[in-house]
Chains A and B, each alone.
Chain A
Amino acid sequence: MIEREVDIAIIGGGPAGLSAAIAAKKSGIDDILLIERNESLGGILNQCIHEGFGIEIFGEALTGPEYMQRFIDKVEQLKIPYMLNSMVLDINEKKCITVCSPEDLIKVKAKAIVLAMGCRERTRGQICIPGTRPSGIYTAGCAQNLINLKNYMVGKKIVILGSGDIGLIMARRFKLEGAEVLAVVEILPYSSGLPRNVVQCLEDYDIPLYLRHTVVDIRGIKRVEEVVIAEVDEKRRPIKGTERRIECDTLLLSVGLIPENELSKMAGVSLDPITNGSMVNENLETNVKGIFACGNVLHVHDLVDHVTLEAELAGESAAAFVKGELRNESNIKVTAGKGIRYVLPHLISGKNDVKFSLRVMYPDRDKKIVVRDGERILKKIPKMRINPSEMIQFNIKKEYLKDVKGLTIELE
């Protein structure tokens, strides 16, 4: 067994981990260890071969691999140490990390930890789709990995459950490679993906979109042979008599992402039940001193550019912590009010500028996001269009946060 100490350990070498590492290095910390479980850095971006990454950070519409390479090159250039094929098995409350690597089992005692593990996909079992358990049922990310990285085509006749961006991107991917996409099925009355993607992934290819529908049965003994979809009511229960059978060989599930916080729980980090990510303060520090979180493990993002900026803050905070310069005076609670699903950070100090991130509960037009401290309104942000699938971010300068007792962010 190898035992070592490190100033900052970063768990996950995807976009969040890469940017946190670079930021920590630029803040003056050299003793960094970036721990990645796959054979290469880049995380999920390795398989996101479509465009749309980097519009805010680089002003270009890059593909996932191109975006990740810029940060991987920087990590190499800055000579930041990293480990590949290395899975963290455990973190305890004393910030001791157990890493399983092909070299040995390694115990790393870190002064600061940045959690950047990303998220996993919701499965069929978690949403209890009735039917048999044949081959041909894949979550979207798993299929994306198989098609784009492992060179396997998973099926010829596809039905996709979930019209979020991932489902839409995969619909197009299948069509481009010659498969038939028979339907995209969405339980909500609207697609949760960006309008651009609905146009370029569904309309361009005449793929039917069934809104207010869900999959109620899967048939096939060995391989998927057909799925049955049905309309749902306001309570999202299937309506008898609206069933429709679709012959297919593949069911793709794009039904949600869940931040991967098993390790965080082991370390004693408290989670927010709405985001399934850690509770954090304005420095992105969790309730465990010296443990920070950023990226999809904190809350699921739509734009990788936001992940990068968030991770930079986490890396800077971790570096400040190691240097003994991080003051934790975040005692002011931030609450998600009417119409707001969640807001980050959960706690602020009132002494620094803060960037807030939030998601609304329902799509709407011509609304205002109101930031208030009790009765006193600090800021009103008008929005022409709001959508739960588009994260909203805004800054508030510290001058406005002076003497604040508690913040509520709500919709008007």
Chain B
Amino acid sequence: MKGSSFDFIIIGGGIVGCAIARELSRYGTKTILLERESDVAMGISGRNSGVVHAGFYVEPGSLKAETNVLGHRMMPKICHDLDVPYREVGKIVVAKNEREIKDLYKLKDNGDKNGVKGLRIIDREEIKEIEPEVEGIKALYSPTSAILDPFLLNVALAENALQNGVRILLNTEVTDIKGNGSFIVKTKRGEFRSEFVINSAGLFSDKIAEMVGIDRYRIYPCRGEYHILDKNRRHLIRGMVYPVPPREPGGLGIHLTPTTDDNIFIGPSAEYIEEREDTANTEEVMERLYAEAKELLPKISKRDFIRSFAGIRPKLIKPDAKKPRDFVIEESIDNFINLIGIESPGLTSAPAIAKKVVEIIKKKKRLKKNRKFNPERKAPVRFSKLSDEEKSELIRKNPDYGRIVCRCETVTRQEIIDALKNPLGAKNIYGVRKRSKATCGRCQGGFCIPKIVEVMEELSHPSIDDLTLKGDNSKLFIGRTKDLRKND
């Protein structure tokens, strides 16, 4: 790989980087994506609500609004082509008092200006029809708001890009970039030359930009904590239920968001923090999330929580700023394209951002269509979603479909094998989790992790140090049972 020359280097394998990779693979280009973690979707893209926003939160005329609305329109076909779960569950934004009702009308106005379809203000009766468990005097109803599986989408974009000729290197952190108009990108695993560099490094996009002397951007990490509710509470809401957003620019208020796996997310919160990688949950916020969620949905209890997590927003504004900032999507210096500050609605916007990046490139370089481009990618079988007859047929052809490894999510041994044999080469528990949903259930891997490790051992005989939770030195074990007492 040393000294290899590319047309495009994409830095960062999150949703934006992988969407760009797929978009570029429509053309005959030599493209490589460099990801520092052991898998794609390990940063912001692996820690969000999975929402496809309709486009009424974003300021009309902004890049956020433009890419949000276009991305929302593109998403159903993309998910269909890439075989990724997508559900138009709808959203209501609930007002509890007069001041909040005023804000609802502002949101609707925003949405109308952005061209969002189907938005309407509904009253208490209709709220009860749509969401019987929710209390509110008025709400904004957005029927086209949707949810998808952000992990599977990120993985699918990467796999489709790979399928169509893009190289993807994991565990490859960029340490320096030299050049202007054509670049040498130095990494922990060698040097790469490229005509263009596309910086989609998420939380570290400011640091990457700095490497080529662009230091006018600074990311202020803003953490959002979440709780995940057990599937047995899924029936409490139909679609997304949000309160009216608070007036301070920070977050959007405590949301209730169903997932495509039938859990419910509570959150996110919004707190500015010092360390951009500090994804810890805190006691105060966890308590607050619970209390606020209980206001919206009195029937939940702490016993229904199966996991909590946190994601970090890459904000371009300081904590005391009055107005939010727009996405940075620009060619900052010759052939160096920056994507900075891609927070919400980043997931929704990703495919549209990719299109914009290609537009920027086309102004500088002729791109020839890739005649072999195939937009479709088939996902591995999800056993739990099949009918009994389909299950039976699969098992009779392959007994590994008859061995359940993850009992909470009904994931079979073959699906674990499929997840481990993924084309990107991610080989840890999180990699299996993203793709197969094993460990995502109420026992959080207590039952299946020993079994997954067994499959890992059989497939690739890894050294014990290579058995990790999420790559790098997140080792699962320190050795064999007797190692601490064995003679050296």
Contacts and interface: CB of A to CB of B under 8 A. Distances in A.
Nearest to B479: A153
B1 interface: no
Contact of A121 (B446, B453, B468, B476): B446
A177 B482 contact: yes
Contacts of A223: 473-475
A120 B441 CA distance: 12
B483 interface: yes
B410 A89 contact: yes
Given A141-B446, A151-B481, A152-B477, A132 B402 contact: no
Interface string A123-146: 111101011111100110110011
Task: Bin chain A's interface residue count.
Answer: 35 or more
B443 A120 contact: yes
Interface stretch (B114-122, B352-360, B388-396): B388-396
A85 interface: yes
A135 B481 contact: no
Interface string A43-65: 00000000000000000000000
A182 interface: no
A173 B401 CA distance: 35
Interface in B388-439: 388-389, 391-392, 395-396, 399-400, 402-404, 407, 410, 412
Contacts of B402: 85, 100-105
B347 interface: no
Task: Bin chain B's interface residue count.
Answer: 35 or more
Interface in A180-233: 216-219, 221-223
B395 A105 contact: yes
B393 to A, nearest CB: 9
Interface string A348-392: 000000000000000000000000000000000000000000000
Contact of B404 (A37, A104, A131): A37
A28 interface: no
Given A101-B402, A128-B305, A222-B473, A153 B443 contact: no
Contact of A103 (B399, B443, B468, B473): B399
B450 A149 contact: yes
Given A125-B306, A156-B484, A177-B482, A142 B475 contact: no
A149 B480 CA distance: 11
A246 interface: no
Contact of A153 (B404, B412, B480): B480
A196 to B, nearest CB: 25
A134 B481 contact: no
A102 B470 contact: no
Interface in A1-31: 1-2
Contact of A126 (B303, B309, B391): B303
Given A1-B389, A100-B391, A135-B469, A154 B478 contact: yes
A150 B395 contact: no
A105 B477 contact: no
Interface in A75-114: 85, 87, 89, 98, 100-105, 107
B470 A222 contact: yes
A410 to B, nearest CB: 27
A135 B305 contact: no
A348 B361 CA distance: 79
B353 to A, nearest CB: 29
Given A130-B283, A133-B309, A222-B474, A147 B443 contact: no
B97 interface: no
B426 to A, nearest CB: 15
A148 B480 CA distance: 10
Given A1-B392, A152-B477, A125 B307 contact: yes
B476 A152 contact: yes
B407 A37 contact: yes
A179 interface: yes
B442 A123 contact: yes
B478 A150 contact: no
B281 interface: yes
A146 B477 contact: yes
Nearest to A249: B478
Interface in A314-352: none
A223 B485 CA distance: 22
A98 B388 contact: yes
Contacts of A85: 402-403
A85 B402 CA distance: 8
A156 B477 CA distance: 9
Contacts of B473: 222-223
Contacts of A138: 446
Residue with the highest number of chain B CB atoms closer than 10 Å, among A85, A124, A125, A156: A125
A179 B477 CA distance: 12
B283 A135 contact: no
A206 B281 CA distance: 33
B480 A151 contact: yes
A179 B464 CA distance: 17
B481 A87 contact: no
A125 B444 contact: yes
B481 A147 contact: yes
Contact of B388 (A105, A125, A134): A105
Contacts of A89: 404, 410
Please list the 9 inter-chain residue pairs (A to B) with the smallest Cβ-Cβ separation, ordered nearest first: A178-B484, A135-B469, A125-B307, A102-B399, A222-B474, A102-B402, A1-B392, A105-B392, A87-B404
27 contacts: A1-B389, A37-B407, A85-B402, A100-B391, A102-B395, A103-B402, A104-B402, A105-B402, A120-B443, A123-B444, A125-B307, A128-B308, A130-B283, A135-B469, A135-B474, A145-B450, A146-B449, A146-B450, A147-B481, A151-B481, A152-B477, A153-B482, A154-B478, A178-B485, A222-B472, A222-B474, A238-B283
Given A123-B446, A138-B446, 17 more contacts: A37-B404, A87-B404, A89-B410, A100-B404, A100-B410, A102-B400, A105-B391, A120-B443, A125-B308, A131-B280, A134-B474, A135-B474, A142-B450, A148-B481, A153-B484, A178-B485, A223-B473
